[in-house]
Structure 1
Amino acid sequence: MRQMHGAWPKDALPHRIWDESYMELQHATRQHEFVTSLYVQAKLNTRALLDQVIPAYEGVFSDLYSATSLQVLRAVCKDKWMRRRL
């Protein structure tokens, strides 16, 4: 008969020991979820800002984040920045 210390036998552990690869996968999954939520929030903030600054912009481009849309935004922002510097 084994000696018992409290409720656990001497060679048993009260906590589950996870495989290291499982723990790494769990960590990577949590990081992915966090980064994805930041990405979604950034897109929502961008859309809200665009709606305030250029209200009709969303109606012009079906994809606000397409290469063409981003080039137009870059040109508009650069033009406004240059005018402020003069």
Structure 2
Amino acid sequence: MSPAVKYTLGRIGLFVVVVLALWPIDLNIFLKLMIAVIFSAALSFFLLRGWRDDMAQQIAGVAERRRAEKDRLRSALAGDDHPDGTDGNSQGSR
């Protein structure tokens, strides 16, 4: 399962647990939901740290691959077939 999906499901699960814990308390439903959002966010900061770090690493990897592909496409559009600065000749300069 993707780290982003796992983290998102964990956040939703924490929210549901807090809402269920607040259900028997005699409060306005909107107040219960607001309290649940705040408490579940605070709990997820501590309880889901590992999943959040995994998700951040996955996002950073995707961003790096996109950046490399973008650089490769830019160099190809500029007429440079080899983005590393070589001219592709294995014989050297003449």
Give TM-score scaled by structure 2 length: 0.38
Decide which structure has greater helix share: 2
Higher relative contact order (CA 8 A, sep 6+): 2
Decide which structure has greater strand share: 1
Give TM-score scaled by structure 1 length: 0.41
